[in-house]
């Protein structure tokens, strides 16, 4: 199952969705248009928003 966890702002991607690891190659972040196009659930607009990615998973660019 392709499942989104929350929306956030990534320093590299901008606004994006954090997705479950079962998403395969899409893991861990997807831009909104790809999230919608690939049929993830729940709808992008229904994902809760978190102001920062999870600490250990945060990208350092």
Tokens linked to 42: 């729940």
pLDDT of the residue at 26: 84
Total residue length of the chain: 61
Give the count of beta carbons closer than 10 Å to the beta carbon of residue 36.
Answer: 14
Considering the entire predicted model, what is its pTM?
0.78
Q: Per-residue confidence at 55, pLDDT binned at 50, 70, 90?
A: low
- Is 51 contained in some domain? no
Helix (H, G, I), strand (E, B) or coil at 30: strand
How many distinct structural domains can be found in the chain?
A: 1
Q: What is the CB neighbour count within 10 angstroms for residue 24? A: 9
Domain of residue 13, residue span: 4-44
| 19: in domain | yes
Question: Is pLDDT at 56 greater than 50 in this prediction?
Answer: no
Let me know if residue 15 belongs to a domain.
Answer: yes
4-53 residue pLDDT tens: 999 999 999 999 999 999 988 889 999 999 999 999 999 999 999 998 65
**Is 56 a member of any domain?**
no
| The pair of three-digit structure tokens given for residue 3, joined into one six-digit string | 């499942």
Cα(46)–Cα(61) distance, rounded to whole angstroms?
Answer: 28
């Amino acid at each position: 199952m392709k499942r989104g966890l929350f929306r956030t702002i990534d320093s590299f991607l901008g606004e994006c969705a954090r997705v479950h690891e079962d998403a395969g190659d899409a893991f861990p972040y997807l831009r909104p248009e790809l999230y919608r196009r690939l049929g993830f659930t729940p709808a992008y607009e229904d994902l809760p928003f978190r102001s920062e990615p999870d600490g250990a998973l945060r990208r350092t660019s």
